[in-house]
Amino acid sequence: MVLARAHAFTIDLLQTRHVGVEVDVRAGLPAFTIVGLADAAVREARERINAAIRNSGFEFPARRITANLAPGGFPKSGPGLDLALACAVLAASGQIPQAALEQCALFGELALDGSVRPSRGTLAVAEATRRAGLPRLLLAGSRAHEAQMIGGLEVAVVERLSSAVRVLSGGAPDPLPRPRVSRGKGSSTPAKTLPAVDLGEVRGQPHAVRALVIAAAGAHSCLLSGPPGVGKTMLAHRLPSILPPLTRSEAIAVAQLHSAAGESIEELCAARPFRAPHHSITAAGLIGGARRGWVGEVALAHNGVLFLDELSEFARPTLEALRQPLEDGRVAIVRGGHSAVHPTRFMLVAATNPCPCGHGGEGERCSCSEAAIARYRRRLSGPLLDRIDLLATLHRGSDGENTPALTSAQARNEVLAARERQRRRLRGEGVAVNAQMDARMLSEHVRLDARGEEMLRRAHEWGLLSARGQARVLRVARTIADLDGSSRVRARDVGAALALRPDVAVAEAPAA
Amino acid sequence: MSEQNAPEPDACVECRRRSWLLAALSASLDFSAADRPRLNSLLALDDTALIDALAGRRRAELQAGYEAFEAGEPSGMAGESICRHCTAFPRMLVDDPGLPWLLNISGAEGRERLAAGDPMVAIVGSRRASDYGVEMASSVARGVAASGMGVVSALGAGVAAASLAGTLEVDGGAVAVMSSGLGVSPTTGLRALYRGLLRSGCVVAELPDDCPGRRWGMVASERIVAGLADVVVVVEAEDKPTDLAVALVGQSLGRCVAAMPGRVTSPLSRGTHMLLRDGAQLVRGAEDVLELLYTRGESARSTPRLAAVADASAAALEPRLAAVLERVGAGRDTPDSLTGEGADGDEVLCALSELELLGLLARGEGGRYVPREPWG
Tens digits of per-residue pLDDT, B31-72?
Answer: 888 888 888 888 888 888 888 888 888 888 888 888 888 766
Task: Name the residue among B138, B122, B93, B118 with its Cα closest to residue B259.
Answer: B122
Give the number of residues written for chain A: 512
- Interchain proximity A370–B189, CB inside 8 Å: yes
User: Please, are residues A355 and A376 in contact by the beta-carbon 8 Å criterion?
Assistant: yes
On average, the pLDDT of chain B sits at 82
**What are the pLDDT digits (tens) for A307-320?**
999 888 888 888 88
How many whole angstroms from its chain centre is CA A43?
Answer: 31
Question: For residue B293, how many C-alpha atoms fall within 13 Å in the half-sphere facing its CB?
Answer: 26
Question: How many CB atoms within 10 Å of residue B87?
Answer: 8
A427 Rama sector, left if φ>0, alpha if ψ -120 to 50, beta otherwise: beta
Q: Which one of B192, B339, B353 has the shortest CB-CB distance to A512?
A: B192
- Interchain proximity A361–B354, CB inside 8 Å: no
Task: Name the residue among A339, A329, A261, A262 with its Cα closest to residue A296.
Answer: A261
> SS3 helix, strand, coil % of chain B, rounded to 5?
50, 10, 40
Helix (H, G, I), strand (E, B) or coil at A345: coil
Query: Residue A103 corresponds to which amino acid?
Result: Q
Between the ranges A157-166, A261-270, B308-317, where is the mean pLDDT highest? A157-166
Give residue B307's pLDDT: 39
Give residue B93's pLDDT: 83
CB burial readout A238-270, b (16+ within 10 A) else e: bbbbbbbebeeebbbbbbbbbbbbebebbbbbb
User: Please, are residues A213 and A406 in contact by the beta-carbon 8 Å criterion?
Assistant: yes
> Could you give the CA distance from residue B238 to residue B267 in angstroms, rounded to a whole number?
6
Residue A293 pLDDT class (50, 70, 90 cuts) = low
User: Please, are residues A264 and A143 in contact by the beta-carbon 8 Å criterion?
Assistant: yes
Q: Angle, to 10 degrees, between the axis of helix A467-483 and the axis of helix A491-499?
A: 120
Q: Which one of B266, B340, B367 has the shortest CB-CB distance to A363?
A: B266
Q: φ and ψ at B132, to 5 degrees?
A: -60, -45
**What are the pLDDT digits (tens) for A212-221?**
999 999 999 9
Question: How many CB atoms within 10 Å of residue A86?
Answer: 31
> Could you give the CA distance from residue B9 to residue B263 in angstroms, rounded to a whole number?
51
Strands A104-107 and A222-225: unpaired
Backbone CA torsion sign across B182, B192, B90, B46? negative
Strands A31-35 and A64-70: parallel
Give residue B309's pLDDT: 39
A window 318-357, beta carbon within 8 A of B: 354-355
pLDDT(B306) > 80:
no
Query: Residue A31 corresponds to which amino acid?
Result: A
pLDDT(A192) > 50:
no
- Interchain proximity A370–B195, CB inside 8 Å: no
Write down the H helix ranges in chain B. 13-24, 26-30, 36-43, 47-54, 59-68, 111-116, 131-146, 159-169, 191-200, 215-228, 241-252, 267-277, 286-295, 309-315, 319-329, 335-338, 345-357
Q: Which one of B192, B351, B352 has the shortest CB-CB distance to A508?
A: B192
How many whole angstroms from its chain centre is CA A510?
Answer: 42
Q: Max Cα separation, chain A?
A: 90
Asked if A391 reaches chain B (Cβ–Cβ under 8 Å), the answer is: yes
A window 398-437, beta carbon within 8 A of B: 398, 400, 402-403
> Could you give the CA distance from residue A221 to residue A223 in angstroms, rounded to a whole number?
7
Q: Which one of B334, B353, B359 has the shortest CB-CB distance to A395?
A: B334
Query: Residue A254 corresponds to which amino acid?
Result: V
- Closest CA of chain B from A470, distance in Å: 14
Q: φ and ψ at A25, to 5 degrees?
A: -120, 125
CA torsion, points A472, A478, A482, A484, in degrees to nearest 10? 100
pLDDT(A496) > 80:
yes
Is the peptide bond prior to A173 cis by the omega test (within 30 degrees of 0)?
no
Contacts of A355 (CB under 8 A, 6+ apart): A366, A368, A372, A373, A376, B365
Give the number of residues written for chain B: 376
Q: Angle, to 10 degrees, between the axis of helix B13-24 and the axis of helix B59-68?
A: 150
Helix (H, G, I), strand (E, B) or coil at A238: coil
Examine the predicted complex and report whether its ipTM is higher than 0.85: no
A404 → chain B, closest CA residue: B340
* Chain B residues in contact with A204 (beta carbon < 8 A): 336
> Could you give the CA distance from residue B235 to residue B261 in angstroms, rounded to a whole number?
8
Enclosing H/E stretch for A496: helix A491-499
Give residue B300's pLDDT: 37
pLDDT(A12) > 80:
no
Strands B231-235 and B120-125: parallel
Give the rounded percent of residues in chain A with a pLDDT score beyond 90: 27
Across A115-119, A149-153, A190-194, least confident range: A190-194
Give residue B2's pLDDT: 40
Helix (H, G, I), strand (E, B) or coil at A201: helix
Concatenated DSSP letters for A351-385? Answer: EE-SSTTS-TTSGGG----HHHHHHHHHHHTTTTG
> Could you give the CA distance from residue A231 to residue A270 in angstroms, rounded to a whole number?
26
- Closest CA of chain B from A154, distance in Å: 55
> Could you give the CA distance from residue A87 to residue A89 in angstroms, rounded to a whole number?
5
Task: Name the residue among A165, A174, A171, A1 with its Cα closest to residue A87.
Answer: A165
Question: For residue B307, how many C-alpha atoms fall within 13 Å in the half-sphere facing its CB?
Answer: 20
Asked if A94 reaches chain B (Cβ–Cβ under 8 Å), the answer is: no
pLDDT(B124) > 90:
yes
* Chain B residues in contact with A369 (beta carbon < 8 A): 128
Mean pLDDT (whole number) for B305-325? 62
Give residue B121's pLDDT: 93
Q: φ and ψ at A448, to 5 degrees?
A: -100, 155
Residue B253 pLDDT class (50, 70, 90 cuts) = confident
Concatenated DSSP letters for A45-102? Answer: HHHHHHHHHHHTT-----SEEEEEEESTTS-B-SGGGHHHHHHHHHHHTTSS-HHHHH
Strand partners, B80: B105
pLDDT(A267) > 70:
no
Residue B331 pLDDT class (50, 70, 90 cuts) = confident
Residue A432 pLDDT class (50, 70, 90 cuts) = confident
Across A298-307, A361-370, A458-467, B256-265, least confident range: A361-370
pLDDT(B281) > 60:
yes
Across A42-46, A193-197, A285-289, least confident range: A193-197
pLDDT(A195) > 70:
no
B170 → chain A, closest CA residue: A511
Q: Which one of A360, A498, A510 has the shortest CB-CB distance to B366?
A: A360
- Closest CA of chain B from A230, distance in Å: 13
User: Please, are residues A275 and A305 in contact by the beta-carbon 8 Å criterion?
Assistant: yes
**What are the pLDDT digits (tens) for A76-123?**
887 889 999 999 999 999 898 888 888 899 999 999 999 998 887 788
Q: Max Cα separation, chain B?
A: 81
Task: Name the residue among B161, B362, B159, B119 with its Cα closest to residue B260.
Answer: B159
How many whole angstroms from its chain centre is CA A397?
Answer: 36
Query: Residue A272 corresponds to which amino acid?
Result: R
* Chain B residues in contact with A508 (beta carbon < 8 A): 188-189, 191-192
pLDDT(A14) > 70:
no
Backbone CA torsion sign across A44, A46, A47, A48? positive
Is the peptide bond prior to A71 cis by the omega test (within 30 degrees of 0)?
yes
* Chain A residues in contact with B190 (beta carbon < 8 A): 509
- Interchain proximity B346–A496, CB inside 8 Å: yes
